[in-house]
Structure 1
Amino acid sequence: MILYDNTLISLDIFKVKFCCDLPNCSGLCCIEGDSGAPLEPEETDIISSHLEKIKPFMNPEFVHVLDNEGFMMKDPDGDFCTRCIENKDCIFSYIHKGIYRCAIETAYRNKEIDFIKPISCHLYPIRLGKIKNELITVNYHEWSICKPALVKGHFQGKPMFRFLKAALIRRFGENWYEEMENIYKQLKEENQLQ
């Protein structure tokens, strides 16, 4: 682990090669798991304000659930997350050409809204945690459905933190990311990335 600023960072984000491979994983992270995507407190308001522009991209059956039950629920730890349909599909997931997609991200890419998706989705497979509400932990969440991303990442030689550059900058800022590049170079020079 590396301590920088108020973050405790796993070496895995530098060691593991990773690059999402949607044609081979089919976007299963949108429909598998114990609960929906974790939501930051401010994200619940942002998503609420954009719902009418997101709905046209959603699975029509899920819009009905959204209208009756809302888009979020509490996970087993009592934190807010996106609602899962029948303990499986994220309420914002839909299928396009055999691949699960996110209606929030599709609305963003179509320039309907200015919010790409929850930061927990944008950062995946990095998961953030907290230690005593002071330190933010930055860890790799290993999941078998992401094996195609490991193969593609290895083939491209892309460390996870570089694949997630935009998301890491969104969450921690440009200076924090640049320090990750410096740390990576130092770890490489010291042969700590084996």
Structure 2
Amino acid sequence: MLQIKDTLVSLDVIERFFICNLEKCLGACCIEGDAGAPLGEDERRKIQEILPVIWDDLTPAAKAVIEKQGVAYIDEEGDLVTSIVNGKDCVFTCYEPDGVCKCAIEKAYKEGKIDFYKPISCHLYPIRCKRYADFTAVNYNRWKICKAAEVLGRQEKIRVYEFLKEPLIRKFGKSWYDELAEAADVYLEEYGK
């Protein structure tokens, strides 16, 4: 672990290689798993606010879930997460003609319709952050659906923290990221991973 300000960063974030490879995984992180994406209460409110803008991009099944339980729920671990369809698919999943899963929130943002990119937990994925009393743990969530991303990252020599520079800055700020990058350089030079 590396300590960066009030965070503890897993060495996997620095050592592992990663570049999302949507051609291979088809956006599986939006439709696999047993709970929705973690949200903050402010994000839940923002999603509720933008819901009319993204509504037409949602599937009929997703609309039915949202009408019944809302955009989010409390999961088995007591965390606020996005609502899901059929026990796995995020309600904000939309599909491109090529079968790739995309986020309806991100799509609307990129089209200039809203000012909210998407939940930070989605933007950071495969990094997961967990707040404890004295620090935030920053971990790499290694999962078989991202194997192609690890392969592509290794080919291109892009590490997890480099690929996720933008969302890490969004979450922790530029000075935090700069400190992480500097510590990563020192660590990798010393240990040659």
TM range, smaller chain:
over 0.9
**Amino acid of the structure 1 residue aligned with 2:182:** N
User: How far 1:42 moved relative to its partner?
Assistant: 1.2
Contact kept in structure 2, 1:54 and 1:103, CA below 8 Å: yes
User: How far 1:130 moved relative to its partner?
Assistant: 2.2
1:156 paired residue number: 156
1:144 paired residue number: 144
Cα distance in structure 1, aligned partners of 2:175 and 2:138: 16
Cα distance in structure 2, aligned partners of 1:193 and 1:108: 39
User: How far 1:134 moved relative to its partner?
Assistant: 2.0
Contact kept in structure 2, 1:57 and 1:107, CA below 8 Å: no
Cα distance in structure 2, aligned partners of 1:63 and 1:111: 23
**Amino acid of the structure 2 residue aligned with 1:17:** F
- After TM superposition, the structure 1 stretch with the greater mean CA deviation from structure 2, 98-107 or 61-70, is 61-70
Are residues 65 and 5 of structure 1, via their aligned partners in 2, closer, same or farther at CA, if it must alter by over 3 Å? same
1:123 paired residue number: 124
1:87 paired residue number: 87
Could you state the TM-score of these two structures normalised by the residue count of structure 1? 0.95
User: How far 1:41 moved relative to its partner?
Assistant: 1.9
2:108 paired residue number: 107
**Stretches of 4+ aligned residues off by more than 4 angstroms:** none
Identity across aligned pairs (percent)? Answer: 42
Structure 1, unmatched stretches of 5+, are none
Are residues 88 and 24 of structure 1, via their aligned partners in 2, closer, same or farther at CA, if it must alter by over 3 Å? same
Cα distance in structure 1, aligned partners of 2:67 and 2:29: 24
**Amino acid of the structure 2 residue aligned with 1:111:** G
- Number of aligned residue pairs: 192
1:165 paired residue number: 165
Cα distance in structure 1, aligned partners of 2:11 and 2:113: 37
User: How far 1:193 moved relative to its partner?
Assistant: 4.5
Structure 2, unmatched stretches of 5+, are none
Cα distance in structure 2, aligned partners of 1:193 and 1:88: 39
Cα distance in structure 1, aligned partners of 2:41 and 2:131: 15
Question: What RMSD, in angstroms, separates the aligned Cα atoms of the two structures?
Answer: 1.1
**Amino acid of the structure 1 residue aligned with 2:94:** Y
User: How far 1:189 moved relative to its partner?
Assistant: 2.2
Report 1:6-155 matches (<5 A).
6-96=6-96, 97-131=98-132, 133-155=133-155
Q: 3-state SS of the aligned residue for 1:148?
A: helix
